[in-house]
Amino acid sequence: YEPLKSPDKKWVTDNCGMTLVNLYRDEADYVSSGSGFIYDITPEYVYVVSVYHVTSAFDQKPTRITFFDGTYTPVVFKSIRLNAGNEASLFRIPVSDVPYHTLVRLRQVAYDEDIYDDIHVGTPLIEYCKNWRAGAREDLIKYVNVISFGLSDIQKRYVDDDEYFAVTRASESGMSGTAIFDERGILSGICSKTMMPLSEEEPRFRDGCDFLLMVDGLPELLERAEGSE
């Protein structure tokens, strides 16, 4: 899809969902174990981005991947991680493993290497996950605002890498690894971790926060994955 020139939250929720996936333990398990999104589609592979604490649980093990329309397929993949201090993780599945009626409707996220020129404290973003529970889809759409860039002493208790930024706490179980969009539909972050409320400490974190991974390193991840073919 092509992102918008101006903000439109409804357009984002109507059109960006075709990039989203869920990962499950097996075909009988409808409790989502994590999420991801489609970063690139080539004639041979669909490349999916998530976070390492999700993908590492499935590496080279039978896994069920569910697409935006509820279609699912069994896969076995090996993921790669950006680096030891950054949770961004990528794996690929052959296009031949994706049912054709779903494959032709899949979309890769809109990526802009300059996205952080437009994101500041207070910027509204959209955490978006299509979660499948008991065979039924639940659209988890969370409207959040950026709280801070850079890590305070409080935040360093939870993450130790400056590739994170903090937004309003809103994520739910199963959203780890899903995409965060700005209001034009451009990929802005990856849902990674949550800091619980801190009632007696710094006021801006009294309700906790979600930590989002910055997406600057994704082109490097894709290049490494393609280089391994």
In sequence order, what DSSP letters do the residues of 111-158 get, joined into one string? --TTGGGS--TT-EEEEEEEEEETTEEEEEEEEEEEEEES--TTGGGT
Tell whether the model's pLDDT for residue 162 goes beyond 70. no
State pLDDT tens for residues 57-85: 888 888 889 999 989 899 999 999 877 77
Q: Which pLDDT value is given to residue 186?
A: 98
Higher pLDDT, 108 or 31: 108
Using the predicted structure, report yes or no on whether residue 17 has a pLDDT greater than 80: yes
Q: For residues 67 and 102, give the distance between their C-alpha atoms in angstroms, rounded to a whole number.
A: 8
pLDDT band at 152 (very low <50, low <70, confident <90, very high): low
Model pLDDT, residue 204: 59
pLDDT of residue 192: 86
> Average model confidence (pLDDT) for the chain?
85
Check residue 150 and give its pLDDT. Answer: 67
Report residue 147's pLDDT band, with 50, 70 and 90 as the boundaries: confident
Summarised one tens digit per residue, pLDDT across range 118-134 is 999 999 999 999 877 65
What sign does the dihedral 214-182-190-205 (CA atoms) show?
positive
Kindly report the pTM of this predicted structure. 0.88
CATH number of 115-213: 2.40.10.10
Fold (CATH) for 18-108+218-227: Thrombin, subunit H (2.40.10)
Residues of the chain with CATH 2.40.10.10: 18-108+218-227, 115-213
Which band of pLDDT confidence, cut at 50, 70 and 90, is reported for residue 151?
Answer: low
Phi-psi region of 200 (alpha: psi -120 to 50; beta: other; left: phi over 0): alpha
Report CA dihedral (71, 184, 210, 189) to the nearest 10 degrees.
70
- Identify the DSSP state of 2: P
